[in-house]
Every structure is written in C-alpha cells, then in structure tokens.
Amino acid sequence: MLPRNYKNMVFLTGKKKPYIMAHRGNPTVCPENTLASFQQAVEDGADIIETDLHLSKDGEFVCIHDATVDRTTDGHGPVADKTLEELRKLKAGCGFEGFSRESIPSLKEVISILPADVALALELKIDGFLEEEICGRLVDLLKESRILERTLIISFSLPRTQAMKAVEPGILTGWITLSRKRPIKGPDLLGPAWPILMANPLYVLWAHGQGQAVCALDNQTDSRLWLYRFLGCDAVLTNDSGKTARKLRRNR
C-alpha cells in the first residue's frame, strides 16, 4: 500500500515516468553545475534538475560538487574558505568553449531559472547540514521561493537527510547508495547504483511496496534505459538530458 504522499514524492503530476533527472544540469554540452548547464537541461526536457550543495564562508548556499574549486574553476582552495562574492569571481567554464563567463551559482540563482513544472534535487555534500540552524535556513529559502513541495533533498549520508526531516517533516528526502542491495525504510526516494538493480531485479518492486520511489544511478543511463523502464523506475539520472529525452521522446 502506497502512502498518501506517494504521488507528490515523484513530484510532477501528469508527466510520464521515468522522470528525467539531469545530473548537474547537462554536463555533456555545458560546464557542470552552472546556470548554462541547468538551463540546457530544462530546454532538453528534464523533469528534475539535480545539483550539489555547499556553504560559502559567509553562509550562502552554493551549487558545486567538489569541496574545493580546483577542478571546475580557475581558482584554488576550499569552497568553505571563500565568500559568495569571491566564488562568483571565479570562472567555471571548465574548458568548454563559449562558457568563459559562467560562474559558481548560488542556490537562489538556480531556483530563479526553474520553470514551474520542473523539480529540484539537492545533494547535501557537507556535514554542515547536520546542524539545525543550517537546515532551517535552507527550509526557509525553499519556502520563500515556493519550491519546497517540488524539492528533493538527497545524500549518501542518511543523517544529513534525517536532519532536514527533523526540521521540516514534510520535505521529501532521498538516499543514494552504491552497495546496499535491499531497500531501506525511511527515505521517500532511493537512488541505487545500477549494479544493485542488476543483482536484485526485485529492488524497485520492493521499494514501491514500502511506498518509496526509485531513481537509477548510472553514468551511462541511455545504454540501460530499457532496463529501468522494464523494472518500473520512477526516474533516471542522466549526464546527457538531451540524449535521454530523445530516447524517451520527451523533448520540449
């Protein structure tokens, strides 16, 4: 028996499954975790925009995957040691031609470009999200932006998502795993790595029986898209939302 919030758990009423979750936007054609990348994913037809969340030195929520700026910008050092203003001055083009003006966006900026029919998945990257004050500020921002109901909080760390639930019981959470072969209870959505679904083809059915949605975690989603559709996955994570949308015939 599915819980009453199951339909909300997968965000978007009226859209076909599996939903397309754009991993860091569309990092195949744009520098990852930039406004250009997120906008491209929206134009591709993505249903959910996924991004990573860190805190700047002055406590602002910023969208970047790594704990340092070295890999994705022309800067050096930890994200946490730089203010939002300092982070914005860095070039985040990642070597992509034509994107030299891209920078590390704040969460507010990402929210501002999301259409009303696109959901948001936020991966919590640091243990700062174990703190009630920080979780509370994030919840307040999501409420003020009127996007709380279509936001999913995800992490490899259960305590981080549980801390968010403690502050806002109504928020949707997801747990990502690379090894757990059985669905655990608690999270609204489970993100198992693709080998888990191969090893346990009943995983999705099991999770649905517990009232949970499933999003397959795969760096080569399109090659196994047939499998995720066959198993009944609610969403798929993709690094090329345009290609996945074409395969599913979902282009905007």
Beta strand 119-124 pairing with 213-216: unpaired
**208 a catalytic residue:** no
**Catalytic residue selected from 54, 65, 76, 208:** 65
Q: Are 62 and 105 in contact (CB under 8 A)?
A: yes
Q: Are 153 and 172 in contact (CB under 8 A)?
A: yes
**54 a catalytic residue:** no
Query: What are the start-end ranges of the H helices in 10-100?
Result: 35-44, 84-88
Beta strand 61-63 pairing with 48-55: antiparallel
Phi, psi of 230 (to 5 degrees): -65, -40
Closest by CA to 51, choosing from 133, 41, 59, is: 41
Query: b vs e for 73-93, b when ≥16 Cβ sit within 10 Å of the residue's Cβ?
Result: bebeeebeebebebbbebbbb
Q: Are 24 and 63 in contact (CB under 8 A)?
A: no
Whether the bond into 18 is cis, omega within 30 of 0: yes
Query: What are the start-end ranges of the H helices in the chain?
Result: 6-9, 35-44, 84-88, 107-112, 132-144, 158-167, 194-199, 203-209, 225-231, 241-248
Beta strand 119-124 pairing with 61-63: unpaired
**Catalytic residue selected from 23, 54, 76, 208:** 23
Which residues participate in catalysis according to the annotation? 23, 65
